[in-house]
Amino acid sequence: MNQDFRDEPARRSFLADMAKLAAAGVVAGWTPLYQIAAHAQSAGATPPGFPADVPLYKQAFQNWSGEVAVQDVWTAAPRSADDVVAIVNWARANGYRVRPRGYMHNWSPLTLDPGAGAANVVLLDTTKSLTTVSVDTSARPARVTAQTGVSLESLLATLEQYGLGLIAAPAPGDITLGGALAIDAHGTAVPATGETLQPGHSYGSLSNLVVALTAVVFDSARQQYALRRFERNDPEIGAFLAHLGMAFVVDVTLIAGPNQRLRCQSFVDIPASELFAPAGTAGRTISSLLDRSGRIEAIWFPFTSAPWLKVWTPTPSKPLLSRTVTQPYNYPFSDSISQSISDLVKRIVIGGEASLTPLFGQTQFAVTAAGLALTLSADLWGWSRTVLQYIRPTTLRVTANGYAVLARRADVQRVIGEFVQFYQNRIDAYKARNEYPINGPVEIRITGLDQPADVGAAAVAPTLSALTPRPDHPEWDVAVWFDILTLPGTPGADRFYREIEQWMLANYTGSYAMLRPEWSKGWGYTDTAAWQDGTMLSVTIPRLYRDGQSTTSNWDAARATLARYDPQRIFRAPLHDRLMP
């Protein structure tokens, strides 16, 4: 018998195991680095008539968690907005779909579907050339105009050179500006007691900073796609401010405010029972810390008694005990995977030793606590971006669900306490059955909402942002963000996520609060998969963007606008077709 044939099942099993470990970042896996030029023999038939002066090649696509991995995707590198327009009009004439490709730091399949492949799809890599940034400090407030392929790391570094910054920003720097705006990316910040919002800032998502944008849209008069500029007071801009990937925005103009010096303190000694205590409880609670500093993040590893809590406080002068930092990514212990964690991941993922999950959570916490001490990183001070951005691509890669709960600032502690109690009850119930669907942390952040007045009196709200306000509930002024992380492919995770989702939908309702999905993460769970619950996609989510909204600024209005400007659905992925058929 042929040796290769006899060992084929074992070979497939080995490759599957390596793919799981690569997805988590534990071993080096195939990455979207290689390119096959369009004219190469191995590239296959080139898309007919593709614009000859635009670089075209085949390249692999893999999202952050490795759960969407497609090899040999036709990918182009437009050098200008005009190149993008030319490609889109070519796609219209040839039956192709076009989607922007950034750094792929996303979970939900808003670019490619893992089961649908990439036939008749061309990805446009915006990170190669569409990265210019210009800053206008003469405007009041200051403005920055940037192409959408620029990374947030580069954008914030440029702003810093002009004495500008953001109140809050996502922790990873490897996200394109276009990708961040498509899914209303956010940081964590609400006003501390006595804090006043300065011009150029917002406590909402990055989408709420936009004052104008240029998108590729269908021009019905010319019967072709063309560039169009939308201003923030244009009623139609609402659908483009957080478009979920159903549009192609090539550049944006944002407001920017004075940069802040922030002190970032890490705590690992506040018990979860105190931090997440029921509303009205005294002590070091989330609510009390928000009143003091306005900016917190809790990372609570499973089966541990205290979270890794970060507290950012605006602090103009350096505190005596703080360490000054001048660059981001100041937690080297989280930038790579320690041997102890790597060994446990392999035993859990490959060996099926789920009972090691409590030890895994405790080890993650121990590495964090020791790392903070050894690297003198528990008390940092610097300009905003140096302490807000801390996640590198080399960190442990996990999958995640994600939701925003809109509520009153006074109810933040209640919102968190109820969630933690239900989550812990379910974890305990699964453990009693010797099941461990969650092996990563719970992450909690709190932001303001996308208040259009932060930008101007006539500004339009981002229609599809999770942070778009409810006009019928003006008292809801904050959002509590919840993410639950676990290693990709962990048995029972989707069922657990569905239980959490259904409970949250039922609990945060009425005059108390409401739930919306975090577009970049997991939602719409069945017992076996995310983004597959037909009722969630076709009924529940549209309702969450209709309730309390005017007919000119709701789900249906956004759907109509996006359809009008992309009638051939050139920018749609399969998930979009199910969300907005």
Q: Is 105 part of the annotated catalytic residue set? A: yes
Task: Report the distance separating Cα 492 and Cα 297, nearest Å.
Answer: 27
Say if residues 106 and 132 touch (Cβ distance below 8 Å).
no
Q: Per the residue annotation, which of 443, 499, 501, 518 is the catalytic one?
A: 443
What CA–CA distance (Å, rounded) separates 397 from 186? 20
Q: Where are the alpha helices (DSSP H) in 25-145?
A: 81-94
Q: Is 8 noted as a catalytic residue in this protein?
A: no
- Active-site residue among 101, 263, 445, 559? 445
The sign one gets for the Cα dihedral 20, 25, 28, 33 is positive
Is 445 assigned a catalytic role?
yes
Q: What CA–CA distance (Å, rounded) separates 216 from 387?
A: 35
Locus of tokens 């009205």: 280
Nearest Cα residue to 74 out of 57, 87, 89, 88: 57
Q: For residues 222 and 224, give the distance between their C-alpha atoms in angstroms, rounded to a whole number.
A: 5
**Spatial CA neighbour of 408 closest among 452, 464, 448, 466:** 448
| Whole-angstrom distance, CA of residue 29 vs CA of residue 66 | 10
Beta-carbon contacts of 370 under 8 Å, excluding residues fewer than 6 positions away, are 333
Tell me the C-alpha to C-alpha distance, in Å, between residue 337 and each of 103, 215, 392, 526: 21, 40, 12, 31
Phi/psi for 3 (5° steps) reads -60, -40
For residues 348 and 439, the answer to whether their CB atoms sit within 8 Å is yes
Bridge partners of residue 295, in order along the sequence: 312
Preceding omega of 141 cis (within 30 degrees of 0): yes
Q: Which residue has the tokens 């060992």?
A: 7
The DSSP code for 49 is T
Strand partners, 310: 266, 297
- β-pair partners for 14: none
Question: Choosing from 92, 105, 186, 572, which is the catalytic residue?
Answer: 105
| Beta-ladder partners of 218 | 225
Active-site entry in 153, 297, 418, 499: 297
Q: Are 403 and 501 in contact (CB under 8 A)?
A: yes
- Three-state SS for 427? helix
Active site residues: 105, 297, 443, 445
